[in-house]
Chain A
């Protein structure tokens, strides 16, 4: 008997260790790439980090400004309508609400008193000046790959800002998540605390792209699924995930569920403007990422990102292949969401005049639904979110605007219209209920 128990225990421990190891192995975002890595100092082309050559000669804070855009600090550190970088933005996590903090140089409530070392520790190890652990909502597991020089350039930029007094908002987390001490264990497992190491088996462009995607832009924080410990699971790198109520899509090179079928140019356009004809536009968090971060990248950097994305191994997910043919011009033809005509009637009233019954907009390419991934996602998460929140983005070629319907339309109606839109214009109709929409609303940040 004892032996059996012993064996069972051993097996369980082995499995647990194995599982743990597996989780642990999933923490390296660049392990997929063939080739060996070297330290940055030993790499022949050191311009993999830092700013592009166009502004290489600029003063420190100016370079920091470019990098802070690349690292997209603004979006999370600014509350809607609040002072830039003064924090207070709410993240609605499954275990409670976490607020971002003030990173203006205010001495009392911001980071005005931070030394360089303290700043680096916060940014790359998730440890703040008083020694407490930050929650990994702050993507220090990504920023950890940033070089000292780049991190301190960002700090230099932040210190040119006017200090804003904005005391931290109290997080609302349930037990045990409100125990910051536990993060030490989590960090031991999932925080690599190492700097970017270029891969000699890849091109300098790829390496620059990798640095921008991993150390700066932290794409994986939304696009890579999380494991049971809420850490990124790079076994399914960039295979897509539902983050803050929005679906971040599969951006691996899988042809059906990823972006393997997109042309380089389309990927480039999408990244730099948040829109590519035939693929639709970015909204929600990706819209913000584009507006606050990606659109600031110089063309070479954006192309480096494209090069890096192209190399991500294909990872097929359930997302069906995007339908690229328009629907019928008649409301009577084509698939409709089940027998509930409600979605059709709401579409007719609030949507059809811009999106048309065919899905090809008669007024602007930005409103064309044909080929848009969101409408081909049978979860309809992003369709529902877009209907609730609308889109309001300005890009060089004009304004992309869709009104927000969340205030005027019920969850039920939004579910009905999202189901209808995905059925009519996408690969497969969604089956959202009003309750699902209510949940999606709650998950969305703010």
Chain B
């Protein structure tokens, strides 16, 4: 990792000092009251430079600061007289590395000295910051312009201050590493020394700012250490679960094991008599799964007492509206109806029936994949404190801004009475796009005198997830006389919660819809009603649909007797009517797909002859605006044990911000995808989740993890897109295709352990 940029130097001595320094930081409380950001001109959405000096509350805090000289340039940037620059990351850090990337983007435009940049988590204030969510790999693309403008705007103010002081033309001033220089006069000054004056300069118009071109980046594209890593490796409090408040009590919240059940009564006296228990009460909540469902709160002196009491809890549940869903029944039903294509097609291009009649070859196959839980390692939790007419909260969430209305509703307060602090998040994967646990904590806090931390058990976490929905696909494809993909018919069987549209995360994704190009195409959907809540799960839709569709593509190229890569390239570049994507931001490009496929094939050694029992599989996807190809090389023994020889990932997500972080995401998402494809599934029986802890949900462990994953990036001038998800979806398909190449057996059902496969050591 030679070219990693550090905001702490590489020398051992410095690292030791850094660790010491982190050690010396007092442990509690996690998040100091830093003064909640206030706006000079409220309501100015997108006004990134709106947060200014002159705001009395903040000016006072500046004065009180130790060296008396910290200047606020805008909502993202503060400059201290010692030239330390504090940058605020507006979106939650969930492991995707956003806190580092956001800093890099701003620091690059600001021409700040990265070694003296300190990153802080911004509080929640969508009026100042705009969207503050972290989901769908959208944080980077959404914030890209805004952050660069924040950096460039602050730099312009610093330059203006220097120009005024030096009485020179601002255009002749250059910036580098937090120092401004006027070459002609030989004058130079640090940002720190100019900050006070700069803060008084007029705020430049964001649109008028000239942003750097790719060639001008100094930081963007290099590798960086995670800005919070020193705190992570020394165990400093960062996460939601780490929040401690003076006088805090601890809560569990127990909901009906079958989603939708309500509390009739519970053994309240027995629970209150349990050791360490302070109180126990039932809540009706808002009745919405994404908010607060009915349940029983137990308040105790510490987490363990609350957990112990929860084990003794006996609730009489009203099951009249509770889920009776059963996954085995869904599987059976889906299989039964798969062959009857729905009357109404969602998409219809050309004439598939005619194409089938005229086809040189046709192929049919049925694919299925199960429900899956997110199971992030930090179980859901929130700390809430009802005081002075507000509820102050510390929430590990992916979607703080959009959570506000629900939380306010659950608390029974107007939105402006909710003060939300975001914490680092111990894994998101889409689970924390829903703020149900925060809503519960808000509701509980109204009944507790003092701060309360709601802590779910791991079992609660598994039992009350918003699961990746299962899905079932019946395909029929046609190959024409020239061995080309000529027709594609797909019956997608999925779920609906409201009887009208697909349940959350259960729709066929836009990306999939228009990235399978066939001159004749027909797609239809059948939906089963579902009570179990579903939701976005790392690369929603794509995470399993790509497996089904890209494996079926491989079935077709095999039947056509074609080279798979050639077949894919031909199909994606076919001149056939485009399906219009619903989402305008979709920037699908056949060229970019072709490039990643070609590079992936090249890096993986496509075309070389594999020894018996070995195989190479390749698949691609367009996911979350990223163009991705993945290849898996493996061998399979007589016991169906799969030895992964190599995994290659090639991505085009525009320019890379942080190469180290992007590599980590590519490796992490591929590992996650392998883990999920091999072993993960959630079974539901009579509305109850059967897998309640990791013993039943075998997340991949070290001995079975790949030794290396080779990630390559095709960088371009396209706007950057996110890295959290795109490296997930194509892996399972590449894996399935490789198994076929090695064994001749088609795998059409996930997880593969249900088909007897396992990873070799």
| Chain A residues with a Cβ under 8 A of chain B | 341-342, 345, 348-350, 390, 403-405, 407-410, 412-413
Within 8 Å by CB of A404, from B695, B697, B701, B758, lies B695
Residues in A neighbouring B758, C-beta threshold 8 A:
410, 412-413
| In contact, B701 and A407 (Cβ under 8 angstroms) | no
Whether A407 contacts B703 by the Cβ 8 Å rule is no
Knowing A345-B761, A412-B758 are in contact, say whether A407-B696 is a contact too (CB < 8 A).
yes
Q: What's the least CB distance linking B81 to chain A, in Å?
A: 51
Q: Are B701 and A408 in contact (CB under 8 A)?
A: no
Contact B690 A408 (CB under 8 A): no
- Is there a chain A Cβ closer than 8 Å to B698's Cβ? yes
Query: Considering the chains assembled together, what is the distance between the CA atoms of A108 and B703 in angstroms?
Result: 58
User: B686-744: which have CB < 8 Å to A?
Assistant: 690-691, 693-698, 701-704
Question: Which of A345, A409, A412 lies in contact with B639, CB distance below 8 A?
Answer: A412
CB neighbours (8 Å) of A348 from chain B are: 703
Interchain residue pairs with CB less than 8 A apart (22): A341-B761, A342-B641, A345-B701, A345-B761, A349-B701, A350-B695, A403-B695, A403-B696, A404-B696, A405-B695, A405-B696, A407-B691, A407-B695, A408-B679, A408-B691, A408-B695, A408-B696, A408-B697, A408-B698, A410-B758, A412-B756, A413-B758
CA distance A403 to B697 in the complex (A): 12
CA distance A342 to B703 in the complex (A): 9
A342 touches B691 (CB 8 A): no
A342's closest neighbor in chain B, by CB?
B761
14 further A-B contacts with Cβ under 8 Å, apart from A407-B683, A408-B691, are A342-B641, A345-B701, A345-B703, A345-B704, A345-B761, A403-B695, A404-B696, A405-B695, A407-B691, A407-B696, A408-B679, A410-B753, A410-B758, A412-B758
Q: Which of A341, A403, A412, A413 contacts B693 (CB 8 A)?
A: A403
Mark out the residues of chain B between 372 and 429 whose CB falls within 8 Å of any chain A CB in the assembled complex: none
B703, A349: Cβ atoms closer than 8 Å: yes
Contacts of A410 in B (CB 8 A): 753, 756, 758
Chain A residues within 8 Å of B693, by CB? 403
Query: Given A342-B761, A407-B690, A412-B758, are A390 and B702 also a contact pair (CB < 8 Å)?
Result: no
Give Cα A405–Cα B692 distance, bound, in whole angstroms: 11
Q: How far is the CA of A345 from the CA of B702 in the complex (A)?
A: 9
What's the least CB distance linking A392 to chain B, in Å? Answer: 11
In the complex formed, the residue of B with least CB distance to A405 is B695
B533 to nearest A CB, angstroms?
Answer: 21
**How far is the CB of A388 from the nearest CB of chain B, in Å?**
11
**Which residues of chain B are near A409, meaning CB under 8 Å?**
698
Enumerate chain B residues within 8 angstroms of A349, measured Cβ to Cβ: 701-703
Chain A residue nearest to B701 in the complex (CB)? A349
CA distance A408 to B697 in the complex (A): 5
Give residues 650-700 of B contacting A (CB, 8 Å).
679, 683, 690-691, 693-698
Residues of B within 8 A of A404 (CB): 695-696
**How near does chain B come to A239, taking the closest CB pair, in angstroms?**
34
A408 to B680, CA, bound (A): 8
Contacts of A403 in B (CB 8 A): 693, 695-696
Instruction: Considering the complex, give the chain B residue whose CB is closest to the CB of A394.
Output: B311
Which residues of the other chain, A, contact B760 by a CB distance below 8 angstroms?
Answer: 342
Question: Which residues of chain B come closer than 8 Å to A407, judged between CB atoms?
Answer: 683, 690-691, 695-696
CA distance A413 to B758 in the complex (A): 9
In the bound assembly, the distance between CA atoms of A242 and B512 in angstroms comes to: 54
Cβ contacts under 8 Å, B697 to chain A: 408
Most chain A beta carbons < 10 A, residue from B679, B698, B702, B756: B698
> In the assembled complex, how far is the CB of residue B759 from the closest CB belonging to chain A, in whole angstroms?
10
Complex-state Cα separation, A403 to B761, whole angstroms: 23
Distance (whole angstroms) from the CB of B84 to the closest CB of chain A: 42
Q: Which residue of B lies closest to A411 (CB)?
A: B756
Chain B nearest CB: distance from A393 CB in Å?
14
- In the bound assembly, the distance between CA atoms of A413 and B641 in angstroms comes to 11
The 7 closest A-B pairs by CB, nearest first: A403-B695, A407-B696, A345-B703, A349-B701, A408-B696, A408-B698, A345-B761
The smallest C-beta distance from B311 to any residue of chain A, in angstroms, reads 9
For residue A295, give the distance in angstroms from its CB to the closest CB of chain B: 19
A417 shortest CB reach to chain B, Å: 12
Set of chain B residues within 8 Å of A390, measured between Cβ atoms: 695
- List chain A residues, Cβ under 8 A from B694: 408
Residues of chain A with a CB closer than 8 A to B756's CB: 410, 412
Give Cα A350 to B758, complex, Å: 16
Of A407, A409, A413, most B-chain CB atoms within 10 Å: A407
Chain A residue nearest in CB terms to B753:
A410
Which residues of the partner chain B approach A413 to less than 8 Å between Cβ atoms? 758
What distance in Å separates the Cβ of A82 from its nearest Cβ neighbour in chain B? 14
Nearest CB to that of A413 among chain B residues? B758
Residues of chain B contacted by A408 (CB below 8 angstroms): 679, 691, 694-698
Assembly CA distance A407 to B680 (angstroms): 11
Nearest-Cβ distance from residue A283 to partner chain B, whole angstroms:
15
Minimum CB distance partner of B761 in chain A = A345
Q: How far is the CB of A414 from chain B (nearest CB, A)?
A: 11
**A401 to B142 alpha-carbon distance, docked (Å):** 48
CA distance A409 to B691 in the complex (A): 12
The distance in angstroms between the C-alpha atoms of A408 and B699, with both chains bound, is 9
CB distance from B639 to the nearest CB of A (A): 7
Q: Which residues of A contact B641 (CB under 8 A)?
A: 342
CB A403 to nearest CB in B, in angstroms, measures 4
Output the least CB separation between A397 and chain B (Å). Answer: 16
Q: How far is the CA of A333 from the CA of B238 in the complex (A)?
A: 40
For B761, the chain A residues whose CB sits under 8 A away are: 341-342, 345
Bound complex: CA of A341 vs CA of B696, how far in Å?
Answer: 22
CA distance A405 to B691 in the complex (A): 10
Q: A416: nearest residue on chain B (CB-CB)?
A: B758
Give the CA-CA distance A407 to B703 in the complex, in Å: 20
* Bound-complex Cα distance A403 to B694 (A): 9
C-alpha gap A348/B702 in the complex (Å): 10
Q: How far is the CA of A225 from the CA of B703 in the complex (A)?
A: 42
List of A residues within 8 angstroms of B683 by Cβ? 407
Least CB separation from B702: chain A residue: A349
Q: How far, in whole Å, are A390 and B694 apart by their CA atoms in the complex?
A: 13
Q: Whole-angstrom distance from the CB of A389 to the nearest CB of chain B?
A: 11
What are the interface flags for B637-648 relative to A under an 8 Å C-beta threshold, 1 for contact and 0 otherwise? Answer: 001010000000
Cα A407 to Cα B682 in complex, Å, equals 10
From residue A196, how far is it (CB to closest CB) to chain B in Å?
A: 40
Docked Cα-Cα span, A410 to B642, in Å, equals: 14
A351 to chain B minimum Cβ distance, whole angstroms, is 11
Task: Give Cα distance in the complex from A369 to B702, angstroms.
Answer: 24
Chain A residues near B698 (CB-CB < 8 A)? 408-409
Shortest A367–chain B CB gap in Å is 14
- Shortest distance in angstroms between B706's beta carbon and chain A's nearest beta carbon? 14
Rounded to whole Å, the gap between the CB of B370 and the closest CB of chain A is 13
When C-beta atoms are compared, the residue in chain A nearest to B679 turns out to be A408
Please name all residues of chain A whose beta carbon is closer than 8 Å to the beta carbon of B695 when the two chains form the complex: 350, 390, 403-405, 407-408
Instruction: Report the Cα distance A395→B666, complex, angstroms.
Output: 48
Closest residue of chain A to B699, judged by CB? A408
Query: Which chain B residues border A342 with CB–CB below 8 Å?
Result: 641, 760-761
Residues of A with C-beta under 8 A to B696: 403-405, 407-408
How does the 8 Å CB contact mask read for B107-122 relative to A, with 1 for contact and 0 for none?
Answer: 0000000000000000
- Min CB distance B643 to A, Å, is 12
Instruction: Report the nearest A residue to B698, measured CB to CB.
Output: A408
* Bound CA–CA A436/B701 (angstroms): 25
**Measured CA separation A349–B702 after assembly (Å):** 8
B313 → chain A, closest Cβ, in Å?
16
Chain A residues contacting B704 (CB-CB under 8 Å) are: 345
Complex: how many Å from CA A316 to CA B411? Answer: 70
Shortest C-beta distance, A143 to chain B (Å), equals: 33
CA distance A413 to B703 in the complex (A): 14
Q: Which of A345, A348, A408: most chain B Cβ within 10 A?
A: A408
Interface residues of B in 270-322 (CB under 8 A from A): none
- Shortest B36–chain A CB gap in Å is 43
- Report Cα–Cα, A435/B147, bound state, in Å: 59
Against A, the Cβ 8 Å flags (1 = close, 0 = not) of B742-761 are: 00000000000100101011
Chain B residues with CB below 8 A from A350, complex form: 695
